[in-house]
A and B are shown apart, each in its own frame.
Chain A
Amino acid sequence: MAGHDINKEIRAYWLVFGALLVFTGLTVGVSYIPFVISMSLIVGLAVALCKGTMVALIFMHLKAEKRLIYWSLFFTVIFFFACILLPILTEMDQLDESPNGGFYHGTALPDPEDRPSFTHYTENRGGDH
């Protein structure tokens, strides 16, 4: 890499460092705003995603990497999101209140009155202290 290029890169590294510090402050600050929980999750993870993108593109040099790396990461990202979505979709299916909702269309869910209560959880804790 030519001297001029590396000097430009170094400036970018320190700029990203500053941006990461600002975003960290933002993440902490936003967490104290009384959003509803879903909004807090979206904002918190969006800021983390911005920080992660900066680290990957600039520090890990992904902004100018070979195609093979992009392809291997593309498949990794797909499997990662599948892994993340699996428990969410499972939970959505269980929580669906509609009689024919969830993935198993046509299968009637139990009446809300018959669904497990808090006592159900505490009585079924087995050997927990």
Chain B
Amino acid sequence: MQIPYAVTERPDTGLNNAKLGIWLFLASEVMLFGALFSSYIFLRVSAPEWEMGVPEAAQNPAVWPLQFQKLKVALACLNTVFLIFSSVTMVMAWAELKRNNWAKHKLYLGLTIGLALAFMVIKAIEYGGKFSHGDFPSTSNFYAIYYTMTGLHGLHIVGGVAVLAYLFFFGKKMWNTEPERFAGRIEITGLYWHFVDLVWIFLFPVLYLL
């Protein structure tokens, strides 16, 4: 059975269903992360130290720490570069399909997967360092929101890698039979991937620098 409007545009929306679907999904994702950013703001602006400046407040788990003393900026910076680079390789994987160059498409898609895995390795090193110092989500409000936000973002990376790996290993068949549909799949996956990059662009300064 042929799925309607998987490639062609619907006359009423002017979009194919896949593209409209991914944008609506991304809109829901904006609200998901929006709720977490909102929680972050709530915890941070109501942290006791900010209002009172009492030195003993450092022992209070509600008090906000000085992030640059708590988190490794260099590792996060490296991860930012990995994700930005993976975004450009992702869009290049799509562009190479438009140029009918399968070999380069595979190269860029493989690079995207590699960079995503490198991001997760750095994240694992970072988490391992925190755990070894006894900094768990239950340690303080800051660590609770830090692990929740970066953990959820990490899960999005894992989900993205699963889809990218599927397209990398099993995409050739569809490319041979339905090239337009396959290019559409890469574009849709790319939109998701850029969104994951976009979330990190805000997570990085908010959690590590400010």
Query: Are the C-beta atoms of B24 and A72 separated by less than 8 Å?
Result: yes
Asked if A128 CB lies within 8 Å of chain B CBs, one says yes
Q: List 23 A-B contacts (CB under 8 A).
A: A13-B91, A21-B84, A24-B80, A27-B209, A28-B209, A31-B68, A37-B210, A44-B205, A44-B209, A44-B210, A48-B205, A55-B87, A55-B194, A59-B190, A59-B194, A66-B14, A67-B14, A76-B30, A80-B30, A87-B39, A118-B56, A121-B60, A122-B59
Does A108 lie at the interface of the complex (its beta carbon under 8 Å from any beta carbon of B)?
Answer: no
Contacts of A79 in B (CB 8 A): 31, 34
Asked if residues A52 and B202 are in contact (CB atoms below 8 Å), the reply is yes
Classify the interface of chain B: helix, strand, loop or mixed.
Answer: helix
Interface-central residue, A10, A75, A83, by most chain B CB under 10 Å: A83
Complex: chain B residue closest to A49, CB-CB: B202
A36 at the B interface (CB under 8 A): no
Chain B nearest Cβ from A118, distance in angstroms: 5
Q: Is A109 interfacial (CB-CB < 8 Å)?
A: no
Which of the residues B15, B27, B46, B90 comes within 8 Å of A91, measured between beta carbons? B46
Give Cα A91–Cα B152 distance, bound, in whole angstroms: 26
- Least Cβ distance of A65 to chain B in Å? 8
B14 touches A68 (CB 8 A): yes
CA A17 to CA B83, docked complex, whole Å? 11
Interface 9-mer from B92-100, B110-118, B143-151, B167-175: B92-100
Q: Which residue from A44, A51, A66, A122 sits with its C-beta under 8 Å from B15?
A: A66
- Confirm or deny: B65 has a beta carbon within 8 angstroms of a beta carbon on chain A: no
Residue in A24, A76, A118 whose CB lies within 8 Å of B84: A24
Complex interface: chain B residues within 8 A of A17 (CB): 84-85, 87-88
Minimum distance in angstroms from A13 CB to a CB of chain B:
5
Q: Which residues of B contact A125 (CB under 8 A)?
A: 60-62
From the candidates B60, B204, B210, name the one contacting A41 in the complex (CB within 8 A).
Answer: B210
Shortest distance from the beta carbon of A83 to any chain B beta carbon, whole Å: 4
Tell me if A60 and B194 are in contact (CB < 8 A).
yes
With A31-B209, A76-B31, A87-B42 as contacts: A118 and B13 at CB distance below 8 Å:
no
Complex A-B, nearest 5 residue pairs according to Cβ-Cβ distance, in ascending order: A87-B42, A31-B209, A17-B88, A76-B27, A44-B205
Residues of chain B within 8 A of A68, CB atoms compared: 13-15, 20
Chain A minimum-CB-distance residue to B92: A13
Q: Contact mask A3-42 → B, CB, 8 Å, 1/0? A: 1001001100110110011001001100100000100110
In addition to A55-B201, A66-B14, A122-B60, 15 A-B residue pairs with Cβ atoms within 8 Å of each other are: A27-B209, A31-B210, A37-B210, A44-B206, A45-B206, A59-B88, A60-B194, A77-B30, A83-B31, A87-B46, A88-B41, A94-B46, A118-B56, A118-B57, A122-B59
Decide if A1 is an interface residue (CB 8 Å cutoff). yes
B160 CB-CB contact with A under 8 Å: no
How long is the Cα–Cα vector from A73 to B198 in the complex, in angstroms?
A: 15
The answer to whether B37 has its CB under 8 Å from any CB of chain A is: yes
Chain A proximity of B65: nearest CB distance (Å): 14
Contact among A14, A66, A128 for B61, CB-based, below 8 A:
A128
What is the 8 Å Cβ interface bit string for chain B, positions 27-63, against chain A (1 contact, 0 not)? 1001100110111011001101001101011011110
